[in-house]
Amino acid sequence: MDSVPLDPTILTASAIADGIRRGSFTARQVAQAHLLRISRLDPTLGAFTDITASRALAEADAVDARRAAGAPLGPLAGVPYAVKNLFDLQGLTTRAGSKINRDLPPAGADAFLVQRLRAADAVCLGALNMGEYAYDFTGENAHDGPSRNPHDLAHMSGGSSGGSGAAVAGGLAPLALGSDTNGSIRVPSSFCGIFGLKPTYGRLSRMGTFPFVASLDHLGPFARSVADLALAYDALQAPDPADHAQAARPVEPVSAVLDLGIDRLRLAVAGGYFRRGGMPEAYDTVDRAAAALGVTRVIDIPEAARGRAAAYAITTAEGAQLHLERLRTRADDFDPDVRDRLLAGALVPAAFVIKAQKVRRWYREKVLRLFDEVDVILAPATPCRAPKQGQKTIVLDGQEIMLRPNIGIFTQPISAIGLPVVACPLWSEGEKLPLGVQVIAPPWREDLALRVAAALERAGVARAPVASL
């Protein structure tokens, strides 16, 4: 490999694209540096399930050739990225974390969002580990092994986009895509100490991804800076008639507004439900973010417990319906933890699921009224720092409860009604592991959440360093 003046694996996506435009290094050098780091560290981290080295080098060479020819380069020129393995990558089988889907033929085309990144001149490094069929908050996988937390390998990466969290925090990629049905972008962001954006439900096309819960599935990016999240989000926005759930919204770029500041914004901390059921460090993290932003107001998100409960019931029943035939014929090929939850979901009476959908709308109307009074709300992303690998239970409020369903108690009420959220990582003095804050905005106002996240980053409160490995 040619020498590179600065290790590109510690750079943000924005810095990589700028460096390639200026000629500080080539896209091939950047791709090679990341592939080398993946080959060295991924056997330990377990972030990748497929490494598309040939594709990465071909895409990087195409970027370098265009620069040499004086042609314009895309906004993510030469930026390496990887995707949760429920995204279609042409020529690869989309396993969605499962053993069963490995029998499917390879994808004939890239997922819509992968096409968008390719059009922006980004470079695809491969597909990332995930919890089976995305029904997971831990980052563990019975078939591929766990993705490990780069900041402490004995701990969980979080899930279900566990490989996405591990890859970005571990410096294997500056950018990754994941999905979030109940918290699967925000939980790994919190546990691995990176920034994650779950956009408004219906904002980004889901075409070419393996679903979990059609009512609640979102896709979004992970990165190590807010500017990178915005850069990726701007590239990902585009209308796609193939996704029936995508809303008819114009493309609304956000990169240019990150520096507008927060002076005119009405900010508040979520109280009530969001101050119960977690460890003290979850509340301390939110309070430190609030102090940095000068936020003193506390508000209640009304009926959050019921909104969360509705999302829980919808998830288990819709997920089970999706997998019913596989549960009938190949139950032994599932991860046992996922299988038992799905089998139980198949048995939930319809009356409960339909009521849950009605309650979701009722809850949405109550929460949207709140945004007459505030612009952005802060809440914990997870009730605790990353638990240890293999941990099955957690003690919250003095009670030992099952870990898997409860990691998402603070994320689930927000995605239940599709609000946009940026997860921001904060670090306590002397702690190896971070904890995330959710920055929550009204529907279609990703710009507001990103502006507040950028303010936290500028204040030095939220940051996403590459792990020392």
Q: Which residues bind other proteins (CB under 8 A)?
A: 200-202, 215-216, 244-245, 247, 305-306, 309-310, 312-313, 316, 324, 327-328, 331, 336-337, 339-341, 343-349, 352, 354-362, 364, 402, 405, 417-419, 443-444
Selected catalytic residue, list 160, 161, 190, 255: 160
Q: Which is nearer to other proteins, 68 or 402 (CB)?
A: 402
> Residue holding tokens 């700028």?
18
84 is catalytic: yes
Selected catalytic residue, list 14, 84, 147, 190: 84
Q: How far is the CB of 381 from other proteins (least distance, A)?
A: 20
Q: How far is the CB of 122 from other proteins (least distance, A)?
A: 28
Q: How far is the CB of 263 from other proteins (least distance, A)?
A: 26
Q: How far is the CB of 457 from other proteins (least distance, A)?
A: 26
Q: How far is the CB of 414 from other proteins (least distance, A)?
A: 11
**CA pair distance 312, 226, nearest whole angstrom:** 30
Q: How far is the CB of 211 from other proteins (least distance, A)?
A: 13
Rg (CA), the chain: 21
Q: Which is nearer to other proteins, 245 or 395 (CB)?
A: 245
CB 213 within 8 A of CB 180: no
**Structure-token pair, residue 17:** 């694209």
> Residue holding tokens 């369903």?
405
**Structure-token pair, residue 53:** 């080295």
Give Cβ neighbours of residue 60 (< 8 Å, ≥ 6 apart). Answer: 26, 27, 28, 30, 31, 78, 123
Q: Which is nearer to other proteins, 108 or 349 (CB)?
A: 349
Q: Which is nearer to other proteins, 63 or 322 (CB)?
A: 322
Q: How far is the CB of 325 from other proteins (least distance, A)?
A: 9
Q: Which is nearer to other proteins, 104 or 245 (CB)?
A: 245
**Structure-token pair, residue 70:** 């004086």
Please calculate the CA angle 19-25-28 and round it to the nearest 5 degrees.
115
Q: Which is nearer to other proteins, 51 or 348 (CB)?
A: 348
Encode the chain in three state secondary structure. CCCCCCCHHHCCHHHHHHHHHHCCCCHHHHHHHHHHHHHHHHHHHCCEEEECHHHHHHHHHHHHHHHHCCCCCCCCCCCEEEEECCECCCCCCCCCCCCHHHHCCCCCCCCHHHHHHHHCCCEEEEEECCCHHHCCCCCCCCCCCCCECCCCCCEECCCCCHHHHHHHHCCCCCEEEEEECCCCCHHHHHHHCCEEEECCCCCCCCCCECCCCCCCCEEEEEECCHHHHHHHHHHHCCCCCCCCCCCCCCCCCCHHHHHHCCCCCCEEEECHHHHCCCCHHHHHHHHHHHHHHCCCCEECCCCHHHHHHHHHHHHHHHHHHHCHHHHHHCHHHCCHHHHHHHHHHHCCCHHHHHHHHHHHHHHHHHHHHHCCCCCEEEEECCCCCCCECCCCEEEECCEEEEHHHHCCCCCHHHHCCCCCEEEEEECCCCCCCCEEEEEECCCCCHHHHHHHHHHHHHCCCECCCCCCC
161 is catalytic: no
Q: Which is nearer to other proteins, 7 or 365 (CB)?
A: 365
392 is catalytic: no
Torsion from C-alpha of 290, 305, 161, 111, nearest 10 degrees = -110
Selected catalytic residue, list 14, 164, 184, 205: 184
Q: How far is the CB of 394 from other proteins (least distance, A)?
A: 14
Q: Which is nearer to other proteins, 153 or 348 (CB)?
A: 348
Q: Which is nearer to other proteins, 84 or 306 (CB)?
A: 306
Q: How far is the CB of 245 from other proteins (least distance, A)?
A: 6
Question: Which positions are catalytic?
Answer: 84, 160, 184
